[in-house]
Amino acid sequence: MKITVVGTGYVGLVTGTCLAETGNEVVCVDIDAAKVARMQAGEVPIYEPHLDVIFERNISAGRLTFTTSLQDGLDHGEIIFLALPTPEDEDGSADLSYVLGVAQEIGKYITSYKVIVDKSTVPVGTAEKVRETIAQHTSQAFDVVSNPEFLREGFAVDDFLKPERIVVGSSSERATALMEKLYKPFVRSGNPIIIMDEKSAELTKYASNSFLAAKITFMNEVANYCELVGADVDMVRRGMGTDSRIGKRFLFPGIGYGGSCFPKDVKALQKSGRDSGYDFKMLDAVIDINNDQKVKLIPKIEKYFNGDLSGKTIALWGLAFKPETDDIREAPSLYMIEALLKKGAKIVAFDPEAMDNVKAKYQDKISFASDMYGATDGADALVISTEWSIFRTPNFKKLSDNLKNKIIFDGRNLYDVNDMVNEGFRYISIGRREA
């Protein structure tokens, strides 16, 4: 099939590349000429495991091409994916100016039937707005469908190629048939393509992400309570997770959720609820608790140093909001860096992928080490903010030689408390006894 993807951010790029992988002819459109030139030369502009291999393969096969011309893109595809940014407005709502701007252009340029697919995470009612905007500029037949993505950073290729479900919001049989044809190769396993109305599809995305954010937040509260009463959140988590109604996943407490989706989507659902006269009280709590959780370790670090962090050097392992990504949007590490700097501490950080992004933000306010042990050399304490695999089994002998004090503050519960006692470390984590 002939497909066009408008916007080559994280979602657009993964969508375009993976759709080319099943034999479709995909044209990706972006206004950033420099980025388009890099992609034409075979360079993947983001870090996402496994994307490079299929990106190169499909470019070489001529199934994946790039252009800055929206008009060329619109001429090519029968299905036009909109994977445009929907940044958070000052009031927490999603800014639709990119999506509606392109909708206007679509109305001006299309000369044959098209299915316009909202892939971006957009508030309930956006498909309708896109439809109205296009219709103002054309009498050409077209349909608008909502097809939210459920891609996890770090696993996006796998999530796209083997989805647990595909949600399509469509009220046109013609558009539904085309979407089913496009996605059939991805659900050979028997996983469903769920067809519904556009509004329900739009809400499915916000509700899913907000539910997951709430699930994590609930466990963070349980962890905080465990600390007060001397229970072990690891045990509570295992005890709860084996109930299939609860499930084992997304029950890991830590220093809060971050990233480009959860924080933005929870706020956008809260805001669009308010705009429609509904108050999502639970989401207010989720947002508040998560903000506190991100700096949960700070008072513990301060207490260890008797309230005085000035001049103390903190080794910080992990900057990305989660492993397998260089994304630092809403990362707990940034909130910790701000708080630690304010208290006069010095920071030496290490992250396998995200250091360049943090360097651009903090320039010379913090230092960076070229490997994980380098960060700990002469530091007063180690703080862990992201659960990268390489941090899971460190050489504790080397760590204790490097650190001035044998103390680890772990925001991701990487180690067994008893093991740390045996290694001779003071170890302070989340929702478990201090050692």
Our CB check for ligand UDX shows the closer of 212 and 289 to be: 212
Kindly state whether residue 234 participates in binding ligand UDX, applying the rule CB under 6 A.
no
Kindly state whether residue 251 participates in binding ligand UDX, applying the rule CB under 6 A.
yes
Which stretch in 27-35, 208-216, 391-399, 413-421 sits in contact with ligand UDX by CB under 6 A? 208-216
Kindly state whether residue 319 participates in binding ligand UDX, applying the rule CB under 6 A.
no
* Known catalytic residue at 226: no
Backbone phi and psi for residue 317, each to the nearest 5 degrees, phi listed first: -95, 115
Of the listed 18, 28, 226, 261, which one is catalytic?
Answer: 261
Beta bridge partners of 116: 80, 144
Least Å distance, CB 409 to ligand UDX, is 16
Number of separate helices (H) and strands (E) present in the chain = 18, 14
Q: Alpha carbon of 327 to those of 319, 352, 386: distances in Å?
A: 9, 12, 12
Least Å distance, CB 83 to ligand UDX, is 12
Binding site annotation covers 254? yes
3-state class of 363 per DSSP?
Answer: coil
Q: For residue 168, how many other CB atoms are within 10 A of its CB?
A: 21
Binding site annotation covers 258? yes
Kindly state whether residue 262 participates in binding ligand UDX, applying the rule CB under 6 A.
yes
- DSSP characters over 109-168: H--S-EEEEE-S---TTHHHHHHHHHHTT--S-EEEEE----PPTTSHHHHHHS-S-EEE
Binding site annotation covers 162? no
Least Å distance, CB 304 to ligand UDX, is 23
Kindly state whether residue 250 participates in binding ligand UDX, applying the rule CB under 6 A.
yes
Kindly state whether residue 254 participates in binding ligand UDX, applying the rule CB under 6 A.
yes
Our CB check for ligand UDX shows the closer of 107 and 352 to be: 352
CA dihedral 255, 257, 259, 265 (to 10 degrees): -150
Binding site annotation covers 250? yes
Binding site annotation covers 322? yes
Our CB check for ligand UDX shows the closer of 19 and 216 to be: 216
Our CB check for ligand UDX shows the closer of 262 and 425 to be: 262
**85 Cβ contact list (under 8 Å, min separation 6):** 7, 9, 95, 98, 120
Question: Which has the closest alpha carbon to 206: 103, 289, 256, 275?
Answer: 275
Least Å distance, CB 126 to ligand UDX, is 16
Kindly state whether residue 160 participates in binding ligand UDX, applying the rule CB under 6 A.
no
Binding site annotation covers 121? yes
Binding site annotation covers 253? yes
Question: How many residues are recorded in the chain?
Answer: 435
Least Å distance, CB 406 to ligand UDX, is 27
Which pairs count as long-range contacts for 281-285, CB under 8 Å and 24+ apart, including other chains? Answer: 282/214, 283/210, 283/214, 285/217
Residue 78 carries which side chain, given as an amino acid letter?
E
The encoded tokens of residue 280 equal 């999502």
Least Å distance, CB 194 to ligand UDX, is 15
Our CB check for ligand UDX shows the closer of 152 and 361 to be: 152
Give CA angle at 200 (194, 203), nearest 5°: 110
Kindly state whether residue 429 participates in binding ligand UDX, applying the rule CB under 6 A.
no
Residues involved in catalysis: 261
- Residue numbers at the binding site for ligand UDX (CB under 6 A): 149-153, 209, 212, 216, 250-252, 254, 257-259, 261-262, 321-322
